[in-house]
A = this chain, B = another copy of it.
Amino acid sequence: MPREITGFSNPLVKQVRGLREKKLRKREGLFLAEGLRILTEAREQGVLPEMVFLASGARPHPLAQELADAVEQAGGEVILTTPDILSKISGKDNAQAIVGVYRDRLKPLAQLDRAAAPIWFVAQAMRDPGNLGTLMRIGDAVGAGGVILVDDCVDPFSVEAVRASMGALFTQAIAQASWSEFIAWLRTGPGQLVGTSLNTDQDYQAPHYTAPTFLMIGNEARGLPEDYEAACDLLVKIPMMGRADSLNASVAGAVMAYEVLNQMRRGNG
């Protein structure tokens, strides 16, 4: 049976609201996802929340009801609450009518199956949650396997990253590693490491990309460190016709990934 919570000071509401902070997400190993679209996407991937909060009163959307039923059957908890408390949990004035609490999805690098997809993203010290979420959404679009977070990246389970991913968080594998762990793992199998850089004249359309291609996207302000560039199999440059010398990090990821996908669609791979 769903439980009903109407008090702002309920300890569970406080605890779940705390998941908007990275420290508490880490401690609990949980994160928040909001909105029927993202929660349904997760469910279609076979991922159910451990707890789901629904706005009480209004009759729930049929998909929300199905989701709630599935959560209960799986031993999770369904909580009916007020729109005000949902807003408090999500930190938005105009909250979604459904919020899920999920077990965090970090995979050990050793469990990634690199052969499962032709493209992988490597995000290096990416700091903007919108960029990281958008990169996962692009990964889904190009049929990538997932994203490997190297160095001090923003938390992929932050509310902003989850929102920007539009549910791709549940289709993309997510791993985290130090640079030395990553490069050691990479060299135990096939894989072309590709960096975008200002320190090369090689046009990004010139090379022949082979699966699996690992597209490494550097920090928004600084780009890739020199020794990381030196470790790449290919350094390429996206042409810049105007005054700026760089693209937004996730945009650069998209331009690169579609080039790789387009080559593979033409059957080069």
Is there contact, CB below 8 Å, between A167 and B244?
A: yes
Tell me if A91 is interfacial: C-beta within 8 Å of chain B.
no
- The smallest C-beta distance from A33 to any residue of chain B, in angstroms, reads 15
Alpha-carbon gap, A73 to B262, bound state (A): 52
How many protomers of this protein does the assembly include? 2
- The smallest C-beta distance from A209 to any residue of chain B, in angstroms, reads 15
- The smallest C-beta distance from A9 to any residue of chain B, in angstroms, reads 29
Size class of the A contact interface (CB-based, 8 Å):
35 or more
Is there contact, CB below 8 Å, between A205 and B239?
A: no
Is there contact, CB below 8 Å, between B247 and A141?
A: yes
Over the window 238-269 of chain A, the binary record of Cβ atoms lying under 8 Å from chain B Cβ atoms (1 yes, 0 no) is 11111110011011001100100110010000
Is there contact, CB below 8 Å, between B243 and A138?
A: no
- Which of B137, B167, B168, B254 is in CB contact (< 8 Å) with A254? B254
Alpha-carbon gap, A19 to B167, bound state (A): 35
Tell me if A41 is interfacial: C-beta within 8 Å of chain B.
yes
Chain A residues 15 to 53 lying within 8 A of chain B, measured CB to CB, are: 41, 44-45
Is there contact, CB below 8 Å, between B242 and A140?
A: yes
